[in-house]
Amino acid sequence: MTEKNVVTAVRDALHDEMANDERIVLLGEDVGARGGVFRISDGWMAEFGEERVIDTPLAESGIVGIAIGMALHGLLPVAEIQFADFIHPAFDQVVSEAARLRYRSNGDFGVPMVIRTPYGGGIHGALYHSQSIEAFYAHIPGIKVVVPATPGDAAGLLRSAIQDPDPVLFLEHKKTYRSIKGEVADGAYLTPIGVAEVKQEGDDLTCISYGYSLHLCLDAAHRLAEDEGASVEVVDVRTLAPLDVDTIVSSVRKTGKAMVVYEDNRTYGAGAEIASTIAEQALFDLDAPILRIGGPDIPAMPFAAPLEHYFMEPEPDHIYARMRELARA
Amino acid sequence: MSDTDTAEGTEVADLEARLSIYRMMQEGRLFEERARDLFLQGLVKGTSHLGIGQEAIAAGFAAALEPDDLVFCTYRGHVHTLLRGAPMAALMAELLGRATGICGGKGGSMHLTDVSHGAMGSYAIVGAHMPIAAGAAWAAKARGTDQVAVCFFGDGTTNIGTFHEALNLAAVWALPVVFVCENNLYMEYTAIGDVTAVEHPAADRASAYGLEPILIDGNDADVVHTTAVRTVARARSGDGPSLVEAVTYRHGGHSRADPGKYRPDEEVAEWLRRDPIPSYRERLLAAGADEGTLDAIDRDALAAVDRATEEAREAPFPDPDTLETELWADGGSAWRN
Ligand SMILES: Cc1ncc(C[n+]2csc(CCOP(=O)(O)OP(=O)(O)O)c2C)c(N)n1
Ligand SMILES: [Mg+2]
């Protein structure tokens, strides 16, 4: 076990995978000579060579398209999109090509590709460096969407993503990069894609979350336990597509109450999918309506400190307050 | 850069116009230096992309535009927006995230916009604004308004699809738009030559769209200005778009967090010597400008920046209630059906 933050866990796992498998190539803007804006691949161009650590032109559609072609023909590309907000020019390549090639070739070939990108707000990134993009892609069958929250999960899930025979969008919440630390097991362990984890056990209500929001939920749950003795079960979905319905539903059956918390715009987001799944499969186990807390329905995170803060936390302790309400209900 | 134009042999503007260009460069420089200081003091959060070193392009073009012309720029857009005539205090307040900011604090450094002065936005998705500028030019043409759109972008932008799409459309439809590539030799941390198939990222592509290759010294305000006058006149007279590549250099790093260490020391030193402002001052003195006039311009520019800073620092932060305003045309954000 070694204590690491999220960005170090990502870097170490990616590095070890690259050292172990020559088919893995890294490509993206500034990933080579500079080592990426978050310095994840610092020094790797010298270590692995310019054929494996590739500085691309500024062209997201091209980056993803090239990665798809590499993946179709024997390599294991890990494409980096510098910030998730910049992936949209590549939407077509992901949705129309990467997600469909296996299906449309009737299994003749597939796209073993990873797209890594930092997402999420709370770091003063303003309108174009803060976005949550998971819902767009989780909607598309044929692409897996992974949203780790802890260093240990980031490492284990990234290895699984690289070894996965199908395309994976790997979303790293950039506010967790340095602020979230945790123990990471040594060795090249794999954390399976599509399996949620109960991060904290409890009996009174189930709180389902992912990414940076998960930590806000864990924090609220701890405080609620101290303040009122409430016992909250916190489920980290870890991957949005495929979604681990069993873990979610069995937790809700046990506690009888459910809340879903996420930073992305509330409407048509992950919360809608999770809440409706619970309603379909566990409605008669519920003692209270499902609570859905998402980000405000505005098109981007604004810049000014009070506005950004209000986006992330619309009322003081809002997760805590609403968790308490639900626990008391 | 033997193949770029120089001031020699070019017909330059009269002294008064050149003094005005000097004033614009100086205001831009002092504004940027102040922005940098405020960032360093922690008064501005997040990041910023300064145009220090690149002011001659903004000033040379600004001086060639009519008040109702339309300018589209990038996240490196403080100077462009300022020189359209946007109020300096409101720009400074936006950087500080205040309620009196030009976008009410919603945008910050990267997204300055002032439609009333034809500052049609600073765009942070690289290349996104190029077709948009072409579309505005189409509208101006269709409506017969006689306006010209000018679109500034970086060298790195020439490799994304929207650059090529916009140029083709503008050429096919002979739109009144001038595309200005501010080639500062770097796409963020990567030297542009390492990721581009041609030596001159914009000029070498002009022929692909049937346009004249225009490669100029972007640190020579006279050259920029005469090029601006010529290309803007061409657009206004209905002869179609131009693509200008103005070679320049940013004195600092790409953004606040970047010390710019990937650039060779000699290269930085060479470009600091080619700072567009001191040389222009020398040139104006040689052309008969009065030293006292230039000093007064410097003093006034600094005083304006001081006043704007004071005003911005005293301004209140936005009310959190504004988070959900202005999503729809009615000012609100409620579902409407
Ligand atoms: C579509 C998109 N991809 C990536 C980025 C991240 N990014 C911001 S600026 C930049 C480099 C742009 O270089 P250039 O066009 O030369 O402009 P400069 O910053 O030099 O003025 C990059 C890669 C972005 N903002 N948008
Ligand atoms: Mg550049």
Each residue of B64-119: pLDDT tens digit? 999 999 999 999 999 999 999 999 999 999 999 999 999 999 999 999 999 999 99
CA–CA distance, A163 with A157 (Å, rounded to integer): 10
Tell me how far apart the 2 most distant CA atoms of chain B are, in Å: 67
- Please state the atom number of ligand 1 nearest to the C-alpha of residue A30: 23
CA–CA distance, B164 with B146 (Å, rounded to integer): 25
- pLDDT of the residue at B12: 84
Q: Work out the pLDDT band at A115, boundaries 50, 70, 90.
A: very high
Check whether A214 has a pLDDT greater than 80: yes
- Please state the atom number of ligand 1 nearest to the C-alpha of residue B192: 16
Residues of B with a Cβ under 8 Å from any A Cβ are 45-47, 75, 97-99, 101, 104-111, 124-127, 156-157, 159-162, 187-190, 194-196, 262, 317-320, 322-324, 327, 333
Asked whether the beta carbons of residue A33 and residue B189 sit closer than 8 angstroms, the reply is yes
Structural domains of chain A ordered from first start: 2-184 (3.40.50.970), 197-328 (3.40.50.920)
Asked whether the beta carbons of residue A302 and residue B323 sit closer than 8 angstroms, the reply is yes
Tokens at residue A269, please? 């987001």
Q: Give me the active site residues of A, please.
A: 129
Picking from B212, B184, B218, the residue whose alpha carbon sits closest to that of residue B74 is B184
Angle between helices A270-282 and A245-255 (to 10 degrees): 60
- Tokens 């996965």 belong to A164
- Please state the atom number of ligand 1 nearest to the C-alpha of residue B157: 15
Q: Model-level pTM?
A: 0.95
Angle between helices B276-286 and B55-62 (to 10 degrees): 50
Check whether B56 has a pLDDT greater than 70: yes
Strand order in the sheet with B214-217: B119-123, B70-74, B149-154, B177-183, B242-247, B214-217
CA–CA distance, A83 with B75 (Å, rounded to integer): 15
How far does residue B156's CA lie from ligand 1's centre (Å)?
6
- Nearest residue in chain B measured CA to CA from A63: B160
Picking from B248, B316, B217, the residue whose alpha carbon sits closest to that of residue B10 is B217
CA–CA distance, B265 with B14 (Å, rounded to integer): 37
B154 Cβ closer than 6 Å to some ligand 1 atom: yes
3-state secondary structure A80-101: ECCCHHHCHHHHHHHHHHHCCH
- Average of per-residue pLDDT across A246-275: 97
- Average of per-residue pLDDT across A60-67: 98
B156 Cβ closer than 6 Å to some ligand 1 atom: yes
Q: Work out the pLDDT band at B336, boundaries 50, 70, 90.
A: low
A57 closest CB neighbour out of B101, B195, B319: B195
- Average of per-residue pLDDT across A39-58: 97
CA B205 from chain centre, in angstroms, equals: 21
Q: Which of B32, B130, B179, B187 gets mutated to test ligand 1 (max ligand atoms within 8 A of its CB)?
A: B187
For residue B154, the surrounding DSSP H or E stretch is strand B149-154
Asked whether the beta carbons of residue A34 and residue B190 sit closer than 8 angstroms, the reply is yes
How far does residue B157's CA lie from ligand 2's centre (Å)?
8
Asked whether the beta carbons of residue B323 and residue A299 sit closer than 8 angstroms, the reply is no
Tokens at residue A297, please? 């329905």
- Tokens 């009310």 belong to B319
CA–CA distance, B117 with B114 (Å, rounded to integer): 6
- Average of per-residue pLDDT across B136-153: 98
Asked if B12 and B225 touch (Cβ cutoff 8 Å), the reply is yes
Asked if A174 reaches chain B (Cβ–Cβ under 8 Å), the answer is: no
- Nearest residue in chain A measured CA to CA from B106: A302
Q: What is the mean pLDDT of chain A?
A: 97
Asked whether the beta carbons of residue B160 and residue A302 sit closer than 8 angstroms, the reply is no
Asked if A129 reaches chain B (Cβ–Cβ under 8 Å), the answer is: yes
Asked if B80 and B113 touch (Cβ cutoff 8 Å), the reply is no
Angle between helices B276-286 and B15-40 (to 10 degrees): 150
Picking from A230, A202, A233, the residue whose alpha carbon sits closest to that of residue A217 is A233
B155 Cβ closer than 6 Å to some ligand 1 atom: yes
Least confident span in A1-15, B10-24, B182-196, B306-320: B10-24
Tokens at residue A312, please? 């992330």
CA–CA distance, A141 with A249 (Å, rounded to integer): 22
Is the confidence metric ipTM above 0.90 for this complex?
yes
CA–CA distance, B44 with A146 (Å, rounded to integer): 33
Q: Work out the pLDDT band at B8, boundaries 50, 70, 90.
A: low
Q: Work out the pLDDT band at A316, boundaries 50, 70, 90.
A: confident
Instruction: From chain A, pick out residues whose CB is under 8 angstroms from the CB of B111.
Output: 126-128, 303
Asked if B178 and B233 touch (Cβ cutoff 8 Å), the reply is no
- pLDDT of the residue at B5: 45
Distance from the A284 Cα atom to the nearest Cα atom in chain B, whole angstroms: 31
Check whether A206 has a pLDDT greater than 90: yes
Neighbours of ion ligand 2 (CB under 5 A): B 154-155, 184, 186
Check whether B4 has a pLDDT greater than 50: no
- pLDDT of the residue at B9: 55
Q: What is the mean pLDDT of chain B?
A: 95
Q: Work out the pLDDT band at B10, boundaries 50, 70, 90.
A: low
Q: Work out the pLDDT band at A212, boundaries 50, 70, 90.
A: very high
Q: Long-range pairs for B132-135 at CB < 8 Å and ≥24 separation?
A: B132/B72, B133/B70, B133/B72, B133/B166, B133/B177, B133/B179, B134/B166, B134/B169, B134/B170, B134/B173, B134/B175, B134/B177, B134/B241
Check whether B183 has a pLDDT greater than 90: yes
Check whether B3 has a pLDDT greater than 50: no
Check whether A34 has a pLDDT greater than 60: yes
